[in-house]
Amino acid sequence: MTKKILVTGGTGYIGSHTVVELQQGGYEVLVLDNLSNSLEKIVDQVGRITGRRPLFERIDLCDAPALQRFFQQHSDIQGVIHFAALKAVGESVTQPLRYYRNNLLSLLNLIDCMQALPLSPVMVFSSSCTVYGQPDRLPVNELAPVKEALSPYGNTKQVSEEIIRDAIQAGSLKAISLRYFNPIGAHESGLIGELPQGKPNNLVPYITQTAIGKRDKLRVFGNDYDTPDGTCIRDYIHVTDLSKAHVVALDRLLSGKGDGAYEVFNLGTGRGHSVLEVIRSFEKTSGMSLPVEMAPRRPGDSEKVWADTTWANLKLGWKAEKKLDEMMASAWRWEKNLASGILEEPPAS
């Protein structure tokens, strides 16, 4: 029997790519999203890639009655991959209560609904390397202390992990938290990719939007960090590699192969790249030169962080495959497809 998996935030960037991997892996996928930062059209795009449009319902996870009704209709859900959350570091600094209310209440409601089901579904949680703050040692592994968060967004991920851990200790829930670093790039088909609503908060869509002419210049926040070129260093991972790890983690939970009821894994490439390195990679792969302006540091940003992925490589049997140039080339292909109207509705015949 095909296993039924719920993906919350499944029309979002990482969520939509993971839905593709799940469907291609033989799972039946249900998608929930409130479309606050995504488009329902993405469900159609997923269907174009996989040949099967997943079931979609527009529900806000903070609406407990609506979520309860959904779970009552789909009581045979066996696994949940939880992406739905607000995710912009800078925005969380200026709107902290909005982030706490949305990210934590949605998780509480979701766990309540999961625990009410007879099958005791498992959970893969979308966590973040922001839980480490600025690590004392690099690369950072899963045993590194969880430090005081540098942003409300990062704190919601810390608290969410604590909520999941406590719920596991009190009941029958099993879960894996995936602490991933910086996902970039787009699906090889060019049909789905990162789709920020309004001004981008992440580097790569800002790069591609500047290249396509949506932005007049690219601002780099901080060039006085203690790094080789003065700009922040991050571990950038292709979104497809990241999505495949979610399927591997889900398989691990459903097969009962985990080391206990709760596990945590870093997802990255194990290599850090500076902001300027990413810009140079884009310029190389696209053949374009970007107008760059240095700007002051941005609140909430850590100086440098990249992953020790040993546990994910050995225990999950997963490893990131794609290199930075390939990531940037796929992001540029997606941006050009957006400019050509790939997500626009065709005219009525």
Catalytic residues: 153
11 vs 312: CA distance, rounded Å: 26
Interacting residues of 338 by C-beta distance below 8 A, sequence separation 6+: 193, 195, 212
21 vs 9: CA distance, rounded Å: 15
197 vs 262: CA distance, rounded Å: 34
181 vs 30: CA distance, rounded Å: 26
Q: Write out the chain in H/E/C secondary structure.
A: CCCEEEEECCCCHHHHHHHHHHHHCCCEEEEEECCCCCCCHHHHHHHHHHCCCCEEEECCCCCHHHHHHHHHHCCCCCEEEECCCCCCHHHHHHCHHHHHHHHHHHHHHHHHHHHCCCCCCEEEEEEEHHHHCCCCCCCECCCCCCCCCCCHHHHHHHHHHHHHHHHHHHCCCCEEEEEECEEECCCCCCCCCCCCCCCCCCHHHHHHHHHHCCCCCEEEECCCCCCCCCCCEECEEEHHHHHHHHHHHHHHHHCCCCCCCEEEEEECCCCCEEHHHHHHHHHHHHCCCCCEEEECCCCCCCCECCECCHHHHHHHCCCCCCCHHHHHHHHHHHHHHHHCCCCCCCCCC
Find tokens 């934590």 and name the residue.
104
